[in-house]
Copies of this chain bind each other. A is one copy, B any other.
Amino acid sequence: MKLTIREIAKMAGVSPATVSKVINQTGRISPNTIQKVKRIIEETGYQPSFSAKTLTTKKSNMIGLIYAGELNVEFNHPFFNHVINSFKNTIGLLGYDILVFSNQAINIGEVDYIARASHYQLDGCLIIAGEDIGDSITKLDESNIPTVGVDLELSGEQSSYVMTDNKKVSKQVVEYFYLHGIRKVAFLAGQEKSQVSNERRESFVQSMKEFGMDVDDNWIKYGNYFEESGYEKMKEILQEDSRPDAVFAVSDMMALGAMRAIKEAGLSVPKDIKVVGCDDIEACRYSDPSLATVKQDQIKIGKLAATMLHDLISERKVPKSLLVDPELIIRDSCKVGADFSGRS
């Protein structure tokens, strides 16, 4: 059933080597022979064996996709799935397919990504930052496998990373609040270990100071990016003596959770408290009120990651990191005074 290169060679009346050269466009072959061989390949629908090819060339044309978290939610993560999708489309154009590690398979103990990668002879890996950056990620970073991180600072020789310019994220939000006379702002962070969350928090604090606004430590709470944690932490904040005029959350889901808590406390968004999230997930547009957010350019991030990884694999010069500009999207949840044109 399945044809080998030898049989194709026989049919075309040439040697296997010639067929191989035609397929890979290496070596000098006469136009005549090329035609002949191509026709046979066409007619038979011959497909070279991936494993044989990989075995000899040591190149698999496969990229490993790793989600660095325990929750195994990469595909329904409302932010990352856009990045993954865009990455997939771009890297596909460059001739790679994507292998998704099903971490569960070896979930007893740490997953050894290097072993997995070398087992499959992957050309490179894409790491999407999740809640938890384990040891095995670090090892992969330090290995000589080309690796690109999204929202995750990598430092290895063969590593680069792309992320939104988190400094600008917080700054834009704080600036907006400042310009609209809002001075008391709470901050809902992600896990204490999360790099992204920490950058935003730090630049939040710094921006606040730059604009001469006070930062109340009680108003900085750590959650885990998900809705429930936003709800819980907001409740805690509301129990304090004084109330913030606004909340900025590191994820839309936490922001949505916060809105729920605020409404439950009998307060109104945005009249009593403005809310701004991060990511611009689908739900922002359908929430009540619609949720203001800082949009990350996920398409661009995915594209850049793909391009960088390809360059890394091709041993071209690649910048250590690329920062993508965020965009503040105003929606009802942060409308102020006259700006606020109610809603049914």
Residues of chain A having any CB pair with chain B under 8 Å: 2, 45, 47-55, 60, 62, 65, 72-76, 78, 81-82, 84-85, 88-89, 91-93, 95-105, 112, 115-116, 118-121, 256, 263, 268, 281-283, 285-289, 343-344
Q: CB-nearest residue of chain B relative to A252? A: B286
The docked-state distance in angstroms from the alpha carbon of A103 to that of B93 is 9
The docked-state distance in angstroms from the alpha carbon of A67 to that of B233 is 39
List of B residues within 8 angstroms of A287 by Cβ: 286-288
CB distance from A56 to the nearest CB of B (A): 9
List of B residues within 8 angstroms of A116 by Cβ: 47
Out of B89, B101, B115, which one reaches A97, CB within 8 Å? B101
Q: CB-nearest residue of chain B relative to A119? A: B47
List of B residues within 8 angstroms of A119 by Cβ: 47-50
Out of B76, B256, B286, which one reaches A288, CB within 8 Å? B286
Q: CB-nearest residue of chain B relative to A115? A: B47
**Cross-chain pairs A/B with CB under 8 angstroms, 22 sampled:** A45-B115, A47-B115, A51-B51, A51-B60, A72-B88, A75-B84, A75-B85, A76-B82, A78-B282, A88-B102, A89-B104, A91-B102, A92-B105, A97-B99, A98-B100, A263-B344, A281-B282, A283-B283, A283-B285, A286-B288, A288-B288, A288-B289
List of B residues within 8 angstroms of A91 by Cβ: 102
The docked-state distance in angstroms from the alpha carbon of A78 to that of B103 is 22
The docked-state distance in angstroms from the alpha carbon of A45 to that of B98 is 25
Residues B97 and A100 in contact, CB atoms below 8 Å apart: yes
Residues B89 and A49 in contact, CB atoms below 8 Å apart: no
The docked-state distance in angstroms from the alpha carbon of A268 to that of B344 is 9
Residues A49 and B282 in contact, CB atoms below 8 Å apart: no
The docked-state distance in angstroms from the alpha carbon of A281 to that of B81 is 15
Out of B2, B100, B282, which one reaches A100, CB within 8 Å? B100
Residues A2 and B283 in contact, CB atoms below 8 Å apart: no
Q: CB-nearest residue of chain B relative to A95? A: B105
List of B residues within 8 angstroms of A47 by Cβ: 115-116, 118-119
Q: CB-nearest residue of chain B relative to A96? A: B102
CB distance from A321 to the nearest CB of B (A): 24
List of B residues within 8 angstroms of A92 by Cβ: 102-105
Residues A99 and B102 in contact, CB atoms below 8 Å apart: no
Q: CB-nearest residue of chain B relative to A120? A: B50
